[in-house]
Structure 1
Amino acid sequence: MLTAAFILSLYCHVAGGLHREWLPDTNFNNASNWDKGKLPCKNNRILFSKDQELAVFVQTPIDVKEMYVPLDGEFILGHGAELAASDGHRAPGCETGEEVTFKDPDHYSWYDPKNWQTSFSAIGLGQDQHAFPLDEETVPCQHDDVVFQPATSFRVDLNSDAQNIHLQTISLMNKRYSSSEDFLEYRESHTGRLQFHGNGSVTVTNTKCEDRSGCQCGNSRNLRRICVNLLQGGHCPELDCVNPLKPQGHCCEICGAIIYLKYDGKFNLELYKGHLINSFLGLDDYKDVRISLTKVDTQHVSKAALPNNALASIQTVLVDGASSTATGTSAARLAEDILADITRQGDVFGIVSAEVQMTTSDDEPGNMSAGTMAGIGIGVLLAALSTAGLAATFTSPRIRVKIPSAFVNVKNDLNRYAAFNVDGGFSNPVFDPQVNLSPDLCSTGEDAINIVPSQLGSYITNPMFNPHGFGEQEC
């Protein structure tokens, strides 16, 4: 059963977006803004680069003996703050004439996840321990509310590979902006020009995500910038699994599983996420597995799993905890359980089909590898297939099978097939070349489903399509 707190979190996430707080500042009283890592004292020489363009917020009274200020800048004095001439008297720990320089803040990029904090305090909830964000989602998405804390100054690099940065609202200097026109007026002010620089334009839509199947984050065109800032010139960590997977919206490959869902009008992204968390992630076997559910475009999804006019699908990413050394075996097992759950009750949630990719660890060759992709339709035939039958399903040249509103399309690579050792296993009528199919299962009508092989990877000849058995021509 979904808890009241979880339902509240679903509402806040879907209807109102997330609250994103900008972290860096250009405050005078922040020791990290100075090259010595400490605040200047009354006998220091305070240096700002003459070419710096910035606003500096002063929170307390400051005694100044000597200060060099930028040609284009401003000091914003908080309540009770002032700049006063120093009396010049010696003070312990304050060397006369010591230079203290204000650091250059121009490197603080909008697309650097380290500069943002997702605030759950605004809705009174803690971050879900089972969820993790894709890298694309670690900076503000198009339906989020952005907050710059009052009584602070800042400088943000808005350089972007997309023309516009879309937000729901943006709050700064104790004012909330809910339209592009109002915010543009602020940005074109002298203070606004000092606080925001770069080629990006901020579009404030005041629009919530009204689609219960979810809304895309909208940062895909700037994923390159996000990844550069995350990796800081380094490389993705080495992974302890075979053929790691690359989720859409993520910088590095992962060990675990990715499930792509095709859905109909009944599908509710957050309710289905709640179902997975309550039904699976609370179990001891999966308590360390983390999940991400996002709407993505279909450019990386198998065309066999989606209709020609599909614009988006739901990407479910499963990983083992937060460790980069995790093998993903628990996540892969959970993916198999989720697929079994979809065959039982996927239609209840509005899921029409699913396609899964899994990795396997070096010491577990029997698990499904990244080359293994399974597409599962919700229908009569699926209900009749056992879990073992699904595990050893087929890759075929082409066959037409009459399955009411559903299809099955499971692809296995050569290593996976060898690990199964089908010969000597259970007797499965689906793979018996001598089986006689009922004429009712063969069709050439509009409801016939094509099962077409992928052009990727290495595949084996499946006994179900033994030329000495039955073939498409017999239908």
Structure 2
Amino acid sequence: MAPGAGFAAFDGSWDPGCDTASAVSFTDAEKYKWHDPALWHAAASLEDLDQGTYIFAVDEERVPCQYDDVIFQPETSFRVNIDSSEQMIHLRSISIMGQKFTSDAALAEYMPTSSAKLQFHGNGTFQVTNAGCPDKSGCECGNAGKHRQICAALLGDSGTRCPALACKDPFQPVGHCCEICGATISLEYTPGFDIRQYQNRILHAFLSLPKYAGVQMAISKVRKPQTSRNAVPVIQIVLMDDKTGSQTGTNAEQLAEDIMRDITAHGDSFGIVTGTVQVATGSNSNGQGGTIAGTVIGLLLGVLLLGIMLFLHWKAMIRLPSVHLAGLWNRKKDQDVVAGPSDKGFDNPIFDMPTNRAESHGACSGEEALKEMASKDSGIYFVNPLYDETELIA
């Protein structure tokens, strides 16, 4: 265009609030990056996508994973940089301008077109498989190797824009770019573990309760950084709440404690071997950790030691003051009485029925809670929210 030239558009209507000759600014279309988590919305189904019910996830999994479906909404324009540190971008499928691509061959025909060249730029290459996760215990997202690129896109190249936190000793979940307040649970599991079944358990028994209405949960399979080269995958549950100040993370902490108690009672039926908790709240001074395995072993050793002492006492090999022994049992009974109301267990939606139907009347249904999140083991629908249909009307 010649110097001083410009565009003008008029649809026949007049807005008295608009001044003539006002400046119009265009956004920089080159700045949008595929690996920026802020540019994506993830949902468990197309219905949830239309209703705006999105999945809470760690930052790596907010970018489309290897078994996810990507949707660029029809009748919208976009331009995105697909530069990738690993060059190949693995997907289950990708939909562009209303056309769904489920094979490399079909996508290869589209990418050289003029439309595709305007929509995608950079050195990345798509690989679509039309395959879902084959493992019922879940599949890793596949973005771990792009962690630095994802965090740089989210936070900026300096990586110094993580928000200030109100909790003491915050921690960083695997796959997340910043430290958080709340709780994480890491589960070791057997081959019989089903991540979707266990997610439904948590949704039905806990997250449907009114007291946990402000808690968000992300559950997925990850590999924890270890000194060993052969890191074993674990199931990571991330819990965050909407509390502020000194109460930050306290609801997430309480939910983590409830889940751990439930694992103690029912974990073996779900194929859970051990669980480890990490907590950071506005009221605690140190991160807390504990394992179910350690608790069980400690209890077994305690019972074994007590049995040996009683046996030796009965054999007259040692003498114990009876008042101390009575005090030990009395304290145990007192603890049981105190812990009783809060440790009554939860109904298993797969294997058992609610123990007290009256308690469940005030809670919303498990189906309603289920719509709020989904595991990453199945195809997740990702939509790019950069542009919407309203831009065509402007």
* TM-score interval (norm. to shorter): 0.5 to 0.7
- Which one-letter code corresponds to 1:355 in the other structure? T
Q: Does 1:138 pair with 2:84?
A: no
The residue type equivalent to 1:136 in the other structure is E
Find the counterpart in structure 2 of residue 355 from structure 1: 276
Mean Cα deviation higher: 202-211 or 332-341 = 332-341
Residues 272-421 of structure 1 mapped to structure 2, 5 A cutoff: 272-300=198-226, 311-321=232-242, 327-362=248-283, 364=284, 369-370=286-287, 372-377=288-293, 381=297
Contact 1:45 1:100 in 2 (8 A): no
Report the residue type matching 2:100 in the other structure: R
- Separation in 1 of the partners of 2:216 and 2:92? 28
* 1:343/1:382 contact within 8 Å kept: no
SS at 1:377's partner residue?
Answer: helix
1:264 pairs with 2:190: yes
State which of 104, 107, 110 in structure 2 corresponds to 1:183: 107
Which residue is 1:241 aligned to?
Answer: 167
Q: CA deviation at 1:329?
A: 2.0
Q: Does 1:46 align with 2:2?
A: no
In structure 2, what is the equivalent of residue 216 of structure 1?
140
Offset, 1:100:
5.6
Alpha-carbon distance in 1 for matches of 2:78, 2:170:
40
1:222 deviates by: 2.3
Is the contact between residue 329 and residue 360 of structure 1 (CA under 8 Å) also seen in structure 2? yes
Cα distance between partner residues in 2 of 1:238 and 1:63: 45
Structure 2 residues not aligned, in runs of 5+: 304-326, 330-394
What is the CA-CA distance between 1:186 and the residue it aligns to?
A: 1.4
CA shift, 1:107, in A, is: 0.9
Greater relative contact order, per chain length (Cα 8 Å cut-off, separation 6+): 2
Alignment-mate amino acid for residue 222 of structure 1: K
Among residues 127, 133, 138, which one is paired with 1:203 in the alignment? Answer: 127
Change (3 A) 1:322 1:172: farther
Q: How large is the Cα RMSD of the aligned pairs?
A: 3.6
Q: Deviations over 1:321-341 (max 9, x none)?
A: 376985212222222222222
Q: State the shift of 1:118 in Å.
A: 2.6
Q: Tell me, what secondary structure is at the counterpart of 1:248?
A: coil
Cα gap change, 1:309/1:352 in structure 2, threshold over 3 Å: closer, same or farther?
farther
Give the 3 Å change call, closer, same or farther, for CA 120–342 of structure 1 in structure 2.
closer
Question: How many residue pairs get matched?
Answer: 296
Q: Is the 8 A contact 1:45 1:99 kept in 2?
A: no
CA gap of 1:246–1:149, structure 2 versus 1, over 3 A, is same
SS at match of 2:146: helix
Q: Deviations over 1:433-455 (max 9, x none)?
A: xxxxxxxxxxxxxxxxxxxxxxx
CA distance in structure 2 between the partners assigned to 1:320 and 1:310 by the alignment:
30
**CA–CA distance in 1 between the matches of 2:43 and 2:205?**
27
SS of residue in 1 equivalent to 2:198? helix
Residue type of the partner of 1:377?
Answer: A
Match of 2:181 among 239, 255, 274: 255
1:102 and 1:380 mapped to 2: Cα distance? Answer: 62
Residue of structure 1 in register with 2:46 after alignment: 122
Equivalent residue for 2:90, pick from 166, 190, 196:
166
Cα deviations across residues 403-456 of structure 1 (Å, max 9, x unaligned)? xxxxxxxxxxxxxxxxxxxxxxx859xxxxxxxxxxxxxxxxxxxxxxxxxxxx
Please state how far the C-alpha of 1:315 moved relative to its aligned partner.
0.7
8 Å CA contact 1:46–1:100 kept in 2: the answer is no
- Counterpart for residue 155 of structure 1: 79
Q: Does 1:225 align with 2:152?
A: no
Gap change, CA 1:378 and 1:264, over 3 Å in 2: farther
More strand by share: 1
Q: Distance in 2 between matches of 1:354 and 1:180?
A: 41
Residues 1:338 and 1:190: Cα distance change in structure 2 (over 3 Å): same
**C-alpha distance in 1 between matches for 2:198 and 2:31:** 40
Per mean C-alpha deviation after superposition, the further-off stretch among 150-159 and 253-262 is 150-159
Cα gap change, 1:275/1:324 in structure 2, threshold over 3 Å: closer, same or farther?
farther
Question: Does structure 1 retain, via aligned residues, the 8 Å contact 2:242–2:248?
Answer: no
Amino acid at match of 1:283: L
Q: In structure 2, what is the Cα distance between the partners aligned to 1:211 and 1:278?
A: 23
Distance 1:252 1:385, change over 3 A: farther
Structure 1 residues 376 and 315, CA, compared in 2 at 3 Å: closer, same or farther? same
- Equivalents in 2 of 1:383, 1:290: separation in Å? 32
Structure-2 separation of matches of 1:45 and 1:336: 66
Give the 3 Å change call, closer, same or farther, for CA 353–190 of structure 1 in structure 2.
same
TM-score between both structures, scaled by the size of structure 1: 0.54
Identity across aligned pairs (percent)? Answer: 41
TM-score, normalised via structure 2 length: 0.65
One-letter amino acid matched to 2:6: I
CA distance in structure 2 between the aligned counterparts of 1:235 and 1:104, rounded to whole angstroms: 21
Q: Which has the larger radius of gyration?
A: 1
> 5+ residue gaps in structure 1?
1-43, 48-61, 65-90, 390-425, 429-475
